[in-house]
Structure 1
């Protein structure tokens, strides 16, 4: 049990750190992060709070897709993710400013963030604790339509990109990288983590 808690907490921390690095790289935030950033600014909320609201909506969507009751157990995951994300943005990386760095350096930071997101999500999913509703939506779409994990993620990221663009979120070329590759990368990381942890 302790091992699962470690996977869960460490995975979420790694993923949120990755999200914060990607945002600060100014290459283009992840599609849904771009949406949440702009929505948070318009609503006067912190990024973490806006993510919490969005994840609650995803929880209700999952319930409709799977025709089951909402997974209220994921509330802890939602609140923890929002808290850690604000901790990274307003605390650990508060003074990290990458905007003035050379473009190549910012791309390297962006890619580092993407890698951390993939590893973090892949790790915390192995705990088998209630997933973030967004990740649950990825799994629900796969179950409902017989799609691979990577394809489901790509559909979700594409939807987020469209919504973020509509409200003027910080979308850039990096956002397209998210749409095209993050789903596949998370699928690879999830399988890799599963094999690695089985051997451990």
Structure 2
């Protein structure tokens, strides 16, 4: 592979993660309900003395092991590199975002939440464009799909449902926002992803 192309793919990949985690942090700040697995991380962080990003990485390790077991011992430890960057960026942005004064008014929280969804969708599309290493949760979801011959939509639904159940158990911030994120992010990412590839060309 051409080194310049690889460099460009890595830059896009990291840029996408930085933007994505800013959006995630804003949805958490809005306190209207975070994404399923983000809610798990927040709930665990509120219960124990570790950061949201730390629990995201711990769960990534568990998911990587589970995916490897589903693939009969074929472990993809590269997903932990993605998880490490994601967890670090999440903690960074939460420190910044939590310094922003936000009244408890529904309008302000709603604006913060919608802005978060838009930003995380753009970030996710950028992160997916170079087609590098997936995060551990998505890789585990694909391992389930391969093992049990599921379609991607079903596998995604089951992964999100499991996240919501765990989040409820650990008192994570599950709310109306969780449903909005689940419904809206996929179509938004698809729109941005297609436009990005038209503008940039697929970075391979």
Normalization by structure 2: what TM-score?
0.84
Residue number in structure 2 paired with 1:102: 105
Compared CA separation, residues 102 and 43, structure 1 to 2 (3 A): closer
Q: Distance in 1 between matches of 2:166 and 2:107?
A: 28
Q: Distance in 1 between matches of 2:94 and 2:141?
A: 25
Normalization by structure 1: what TM-score?
0.85
The higher radius of gyration belongs to 2
- Is contact 2:60–2:80 with CA below 8 Å preserved after alignment? no
Q: Distance in 1 between matches of 2:23 and 2:201?
A: 25
Check if 1:178 corresponds to 2:181: yes
Check if 1:131 corresponds to 2:131: no
Q: Give unpaired runs (5+ residues) of structure 1.
A: none
- Is contact 2:23–2:119 with CA below 8 Å preserved after alignment? yes
**Greater Cα shift, 62-71 or 50-59:** 62-71
The number of residue pairs the alignment matches comes to 197
Q: Give unpaired runs (5+ residues) of structure 2.
A: 1-5
Check if 1:59 corresponds to 2:68: no
Q: Distance in 1 between matches of 2:118 and 2:70?
A: 29
Residue number in structure 1 paired with 2:3: none
- Is contact 1:157–1:178 with CA below 8 Å preserved after alignment? no
Compared CA separation, residues 112 and 141, structure 1 to 2 (3 A): farther
User: How big is the shift at 1:125?
Assistant: 2.0
Aligned to 1:4, which of 9, 28, 35?
9
Aligned residues: CA RMSD:
2.3
The SS at the match of 1:72 is coil
Q: Distance in 2 between matches of 1:31 and 1:194?
A: 28
